[in-house]
């Protein structure tokens, strides 16, 4: 019988190719038929390579057929040639326009349009697109509108096809600008010579378009680069071979497959940590409904999706699965170290108990104490061994980062943005870059599948985006407030518990010294001896739990994040006021997209910093 248990949601395989190229004024020396054939060849080669990769790695993806998308603005010239070649090759077509559609069509009317029936050709292609995003560019700043459009294209593609004639025009918002932005953003560029389309090559990220003298012309280094195209596609689609994390001996693909086979199972043993958190952090035996969310274990869920964006609700299943796995792994890891420290104190107590109660050291009661001591030590070793073998610590950290990276897509996707990965400090290199991890691969695959947002970017839509962003910021602020308060209470109470054991130990030592010269050994002096040995062990266990849990650092980081989120809430409110100004002519989508990107980077950076802290706190014996 086939199992009906829920399984890890796997993303469908998708790949995205965008285009940036000249209009008719720069294509006068081009052979358009040959150029169209070259674009058709690139689209077919990419589709064939993606299909081959899917056949070889079918188990990494959902059962959907592979998807190859073409991203174009449908401007006259190269953009339309590429869109037609993509459709003829069986690719999906997604479009982004620098202006609302009715305004953009004015480029293709009368003397502005260089093609016969240009507007009808535009409408025919747009009708075949499965997604169209109409930006709020202004004619008062056309270069700025085209730059904004080009940046959205780059954010939505894995490969940018650049049809360039090799002459430097340095036009803002033009082909060279888009190519430079792509290469600077880590997107490989396939450069096709506009005048000799049989000459093309793939420029890897970090490179630049070649420079030539003003009177000269740059050309690709070879007639064609099919192997470069194949290598670029496979390099982006395959799981990284090395995570770059010095402490990890496993390949990222092995961790990805482990994630695919993991299930958010509930273990009775893992309830130790939630119980400890409620008792020490809240002084509650039962979980209260008002404080149901474990603030130090998980953030608030995804904020409401954008109604105008059909892709927004698709992230919930991916986020929920990763979040549940993270919480379960965190409960097991934290329960393990809490129990291990308490068992270590129990083992010391059992060793001292026969002397502290004046038991016959050869009697059955003393032997029972020794057995309990051995069982406690054995349980510690079993806990640590099982936890290390099962990877509770690593799974918790990986799944938490994965869930947060998925959640940040909900912030940037409605604006056409991509995966928000900030520049990492150099000293974090030993912990691996998220892009080189299986988590980065998984989120990137989801991002590819989401595709281009659709609809008209007007003030009403932007106001809705800001409202959802503010709700999410306030929710995160509440989460960090709860996390800070709870972490502070746990750290404070554990600290004073340790102080109390130290003070009581000192009192017992003093009493023992005072009684020893005047009284022969008795039950009282034996009990004092027991407490003088057991209480320091208990205090060490409490200090170990506090240090392993990093409660003080969690509290400080959450307080700092709460302040940063409060500032971002203020910015969303100021942007909403600007949107309400009906006389303002300046496009507002760049400001909203930039605020969403900054919010996502802030939250991802916070999680990455958290990851660095806890990667150095693996499960280990309390010795």
Does residue 3 sit within a domain? no
Q: Are residues 359 and 465 in the same domain?
A: yes
Does residue 134 sit within a domain? yes
Q: Enumerate residues 6+ apart whose C-beta is below 8 A from 198.
A: 34, 38, 223, 224
Name the residue among 258, 220, 225 with its Cα closest to residue 239.
258
Helix pair 438-450, 392-412: axis angle to 10 deg? 30
CA pair distance 430, 574, nearest whole angstrom: 40
**Residue that terminates a domain, selected from 182, 217, 237:** 237
- The single residue listed with the structure tokens 């991509």 is 418
Q: Enumerate residues 6+ apart whose C-beta is below 8 A from 253.
A: 239, 241, 438
How many CB atoms are closer than 10 A to CB 429?
12
By residue count, the chain amounts to 623
Residue 295: predicted pLDDT: 37
Q: Are residues 350 and 495 in the same domain?
A: yes
Q: Are residues 28 and 116 in the same domain?
A: yes
- The single residue listed with the structure tokens 């900030």 is 422
Residues lower than pLDDT 70 in the chain? 1-5, 29, 110-116, 169-170, 205-206, 212-215, 243-249, 284-313, 359-361, 419-429, 516-521, 582-585, 623
Q: Which domain holds residue 558?
A: 307-392+412-615
Name the residue among 233, 167, 221, 182 with its Cα closest to residue 25.
167
Q: Extract long-range pairs of 607-611: CB within 8 Å, 24+ residues apart.
A: 607/400, 607/401, 607/404, 607/405, 608/401, 608/422, 608/424, 608/428, 608/434, 609/557, 610/400, 610/557, 611/397, 611/400, 611/401, 611/431
* Domain total in the chain: 2
By the 8 A CB rule, do 49 and 229 touch?
Answer: yes
How many CB atoms are closer than 10 A to CB 301?
14
Does residue 594 sit within a domain? yes
CA pair distance 278, 480, nearest whole angstrom: 17
The three-class DSSP label of residue 192 is strand
Q: Are residues 313 and 427 in the same domain?
A: yes
Q: Are residues 100 and 212 in the same domain?
A: yes
Q: Are residues 215 and 329 in the same domain?
A: no
Does residue 279 sit within a domain? no
The CATH number assigned to the domain holding 60 equals: 3.40.50.450
Q: Are residues 202 and 338 in the same domain?
A: no
Per-chain mean pLDDT for the chain:
85
Q: Are residues 94 and 194 in the same domain?
A: yes
**Residue that terminates a domain, selected from 183, 204, 237:** 237
Q: Are residues 432 and 581 in the same domain?
A: yes
CA pair distance 46, 501, nearest whole angstrom: 68
CA pair distance 617, 333, nearest whole angstrom: 10
Q: Are residues 192 and 318 in the same domain?
A: no
Does residue 88 sit within a domain? yes
Residue 434: predicted pLDDT: 78
- The single residue listed with the structure tokens 């040639």 is 81
Does residue 51 sit within a domain? yes
Does residue 299 sit within a domain? no
Q: Are residues 356 and 224 in the same domain?
A: no
Say how many CA atoms lie within 13 Å of 309 toward its Cβ: 27
**Residue that terminates a domain, selected from 211, 237, 263:** 237
How many CB atoms are closer than 10 A to CB 74?
25
The pLDDT tens digits of the residues spanning 344-397 come to 999 999 998 888 777 666 778 888 989 999 999 999 999 999 999 999 999 999
Does residue 7 sit within a domain? no
Q: Are residues 227 and 340 in the same domain?
A: no
Rounded to whole angstroms, the maximal C-alpha distance in the chain is 115
CA pair distance 462, 132, nearest whole angstrom: 17
């Amino acid at each position: 019988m086939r199992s009906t248990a829920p399984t890890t949601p796997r993303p469908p395989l998708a790949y995205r190719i965008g285009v940036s190229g000249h209009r008719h004024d720069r294509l006068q020396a081009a052979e358009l038929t040959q150029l169209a054939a070259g674009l058709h060849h690139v689209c077919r080669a990419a589709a064939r390579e993606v299909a081959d990769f899917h056949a070889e790695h079918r188990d990494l993806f959902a059962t959907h057929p592979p998807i190859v998308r073409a991203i174009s603005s449908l401007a006259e010239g190269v953009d339309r040639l590429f869109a037609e070649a993509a459709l003829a090759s069986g690719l999906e077509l997604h479009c982004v326009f620098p202006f609302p559609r009715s305004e953009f069509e004015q480029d293709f009317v009368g003397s502005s349009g260089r093609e016969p029936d240009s507007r009808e050709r535009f409408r025919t292609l747009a009708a075949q697109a499965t997604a169209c995003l109409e930006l709020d560019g202004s004619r008062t700043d056309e270069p700025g509108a085209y730059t904004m459009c080009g940046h959205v294209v780059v954010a939505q593609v894995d490969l940018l096809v650049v049809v360039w004639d090799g002459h430097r025009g340095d036009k803002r918002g033009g082909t060279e600008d888009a190519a430079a932005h792509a290469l600077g953003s880590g997107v490989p560029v396939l450069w096709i010579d506009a005048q000799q389309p049989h000459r093309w090559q793939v420029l890897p990220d970090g490179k630049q378009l070649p420079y030539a003298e003003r009177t000269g012309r740059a050309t690709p280094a070879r007639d064609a680069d099919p192997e470069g195209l194949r290598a670029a596609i496979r390099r982006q689609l395959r799981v990284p071979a090395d995570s770059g994390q010095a402490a990890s001996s496993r390949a990222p693909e092995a961790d990805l497959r482990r994630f695919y086979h993991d299930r958010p199972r509930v273990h009775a043993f893992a309830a130790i940590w939630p119980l400890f958190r409620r008792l020490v952090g809240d002084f509650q035996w039962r979980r209260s409904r008002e404080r149901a969310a474990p603030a130090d274990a998980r953030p608030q869920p995804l904020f409401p999706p954008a109604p105008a964006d059909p892709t927004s609700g698709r992230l919930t299943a991916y986020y929920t699965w990763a979040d549940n796995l993270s919480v379960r792994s965190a409960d097991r890891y934290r329960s393990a170290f809490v129990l291990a420290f308490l068992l270590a104190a129990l083992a010391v107590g059992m060793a001292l108990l026969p002397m502290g109660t004046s038991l016959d050291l050869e009697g059955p009661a003393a032997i029972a104490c020794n057995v309990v001591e051995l069982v406690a030590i054995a349980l510690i070793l079993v806990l640590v061994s099982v936890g290390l073998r099962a990877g509770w610590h690593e799974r918790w950290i990986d799944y938490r980062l994965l869930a947060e990276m998925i959640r940040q897509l909900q912030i940037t996707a409605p604006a056409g943005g991509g995966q928000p990965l900030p520049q990492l400090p150099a000293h974090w290199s030993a912990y691996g870059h998220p892009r080189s991890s299986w988590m980065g691969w998984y989120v990137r695959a989801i991002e590819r599948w989401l595709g281009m947002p659709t609809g008209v970017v007007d003030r009403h839509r932007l106001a809705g985006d800001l409202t959802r962003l503010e709700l999410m910021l306030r929710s995160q602020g509440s989460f960090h407030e709860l996390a800070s308060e709870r972490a502070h209470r746990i750290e404070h109470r554990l600290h004073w518990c340790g102080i109390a054991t130290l003070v009581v130990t000192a009192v017992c030592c003093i009493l023992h010294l005072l009684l020893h010269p005047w009284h022969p050994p008795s039950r009282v002096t034996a009990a004092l001896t027991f407490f003088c040995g057991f209480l320091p062990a208990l205090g060490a266990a409490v200090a170990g739990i506090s240090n392993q849990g990093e409660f003080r650092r969690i509290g400080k980081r959450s307080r700092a994040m709460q302040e940063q989120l409060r500032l971002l809430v203020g910015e969303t409110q100021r942007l909403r006021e600007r949107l309400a100004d009906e006389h303002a002519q300046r496009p507002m989508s760049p400001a909203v997209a930039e605020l969403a990107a900054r919010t996502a980077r802030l939250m991802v950076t916070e999680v990455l910093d958290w990851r660095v802290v806890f990667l150095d706190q693996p499960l280990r014996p309390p010795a």
